[in-house]
Chains A and B, each alone.
Chain A
Amino acid sequence: MTFINYASREINCKIVYYGPGLCGKTTNLQHIFDATAPQARGKLISLATETDRTLFFDFMPLELGTVRGFKTRFHLYTVPGQVFYDASRKLILKGVDGVVFVADSQEERMDANIESLYNLEENLHSQGYDLIKIPYVLQLNKRDLPNTIPIEDLAAELQRKGEPVVEAVASTGTGVFDTLKAVAKQVLTELRRG
């Protein structure tokens, strides 16, 4: 839920990165953190296991600039991708303004993508949202790996509503900011509509 504070002249929005385990959600945030000037972002908080798997969420606040005299602050979250952390995923979707689905382009991860996307639709629904109506971007990650599925086939299987599809290699930063821009634009456009 967008929070607008007239006293501090701030618009705060919540973006959640969703997707199967090891698809690169945390890597997206890590790249944004590394590539952004310190004054434009806060700390990257990672609640991870000892083996660096996301346990609850990663969080990073990011300031994009000013619109109509209001600072726009995006709170970026990831969810834990592993199947058994479903309760945590539901909690993190509360109050979401926009979602990025990070798909793993490798052939052997196709079933995991489909399962996670289905899980996203279900969990959004349980929080009173509809994937069809919410600002949403599909990121096809790990395009640099040898065993990837062609873009058209992935899009045919995973695209839900004509949402923007961004090719990415999050580990090198390719497509990471394009994805963020695509979802942030939709969130701000929704704000304009009211």
Chain B
Amino acid sequence: MTDTPFLLREQQYHRIKAVLARLRMDSAARVVFLVDKDGQEIAVQGEVGNLDTTSLASLAAGNVAATGGMAELIGEKEFPTLSHEGERESIHISVIGRLLLMVVFDQRSSLGLVKLRSKQISQQLSTMLDEITRADYDSDSGFAEITDEDIDSLFS
């Protein structure tokens, strides 16, 4: 494998969701996401409605990757936060290690409040994410038992 798979257990997922729910409430945000730097959506909390969260996660990662590349070119390690302010909806992204915390908010909140609450919760999320180990997944994932037939059945 190119990398060890990133495994998120059910309990860890629900703990992350609870933290995101609190951030959403404290920052009066519309939606709060946790996204992998590779563009994978890990958890989302809020008024999702018809929002295409998969595309948003991928584009957020692309956005952070591009600005990170710009940072390196001018001698910075990375830009730890990014903000995009629109007429009605805005986005704030914080880089937490290999993950991105993205908050979508409207006029019910403000950039200052979102920044403050995101920063307050970043450390807690960082600690939780440290605990999510790149598991020794041979032992208990069940994927070692995938058969050729299982794989072939996806394409039949």
Q: Which chain A residues have a beta carbon within 8 Å of chain B's beta carbons? A: 1-8, 12, 14, 42-43, 45, 47, 56-57, 59, 61, 64-65, 67-68, 72, 75, 87-88, 90-92, 94-97, 129, 133-135, 181, 184-185, 188-194
11 example contacts (A-B, Cβ-Cβ < 8 A) are as follows A2-B5, A3-B5, A64-B154, A65-B153, A90-B69, A91-B62, A91-B69, A95-B40, A188-B151, A189-B151, A191-B146
Interface stretch (choices B31-39, B78-86, B105-113, B116-124): B31-39
**Alpha-carbon distance A8/B138, docked complex (angstroms):** 20
Decide yes or no: A57 and B62 within 8 Å by CB, A3-B8, A97-B2 being known contacts.
yes
> Which chain A residue has the least Cβ–Cβ distance from B69?
A87
When distances are taken between beta carbons in the complex, the residues of chain B under 8 Å from A188 are: 146, 151, 154
**Alpha-carbon distance A87/B39, docked complex (angstroms):** 17
Contact A1 B3 (CB under 8 A): yes
When distances are taken between beta carbons in the complex, the residues of chain A under 8 Å from B137 are: 4, 194
> Which of these, A42, A181, A193, contacts B1 with CB under 8 Å?
A193
B143: min CB distance to chain A, Å: 5
Decide yes or no whether B65 CB sits under 8 A from chain A: yes
Contact A6 B9 (CB under 8 A): yes
> Which of these, A61, A68, A194, contacts B138 with CB under 8 Å?
A194
Contact A72 B8 (CB under 8 A): no
Decide yes or no: A7 and B10 within 8 Å by CB, A43-B52, A91-B66 being known contacts.
yes
Decide yes or no whether B77 CB sits under 8 A from chain A: no
Q: Which chain B residues have a beta carbon within 8 Å of chain A's beta carbons? A: 1-10, 13-14, 36-40, 42, 52, 54-55, 58-59, 62, 65-66, 68-69, 137-138, 141-146, 150-155
When distances are taken between beta carbons in the complex, the residues of chain A under 8 Å from B150 are: 67-68
**Alpha-carbon distance A75/B66, docked complex (angstroms):** 19
> Which of these, A7, A12, A94, contacts B37 with CB under 8 Å?
A94
When distances are taken between beta carbons in the complex, the residues of chain A under 8 Å from B4 are: 1
**Alpha-carbon distance A1/B1, docked complex (angstroms):** 8
When distances are taken between beta carbons in the complex, the residues of chain B under 8 Å from A88 are: 66
B35: min CB distance to chain A, Å: 11
**Alpha-carbon distance A82/B3, docked complex (angstroms):** 28
**Alpha-carbon distance A75/B155, docked complex (angstroms):** 17
Contact A6 B7 (CB under 8 A): yes
> Which of these, B69, B146, B152, contacts A68 with CB under 8 Å?
B146
> Which chain B residue has the least Cβ–Cβ distance from A12?
B40
**Alpha-carbon distance A43/B10, docked complex (angstroms):** 28
> Which chain B residue has the least Cβ–Cβ distance from A190?
B1
Contact A194 B2 (CB under 8 A): no
Contact B40 A75 (CB under 8 A): yes
**Alpha-carbon distance A8/B2, docked complex (angstroms):** 23
Which residue among A1, A12, A87, A135 has the maximum number of chain B CB atoms within 10 Å of its CB?
A1
> Which chain B residue has the least Cβ–Cβ distance from A188?
B151
B49: min CB distance to chain A, Å: 15
**Alpha-carbon distance A94/B62, docked complex (angstroms):** 10
When distances are taken between beta carbons in the complex, the residues of chain B under 8 Å from A1 are: 2-6, 36, 38
CB-based closest 3 A-B pairs:
A95-B38, A7-B13, A1-B3
Contact B2 A56 (CB under 8 A): no
> Which chain B residue has the least Cβ–Cβ distance from A185?
B151
Contact A45 B58 (CB under 8 A): yes
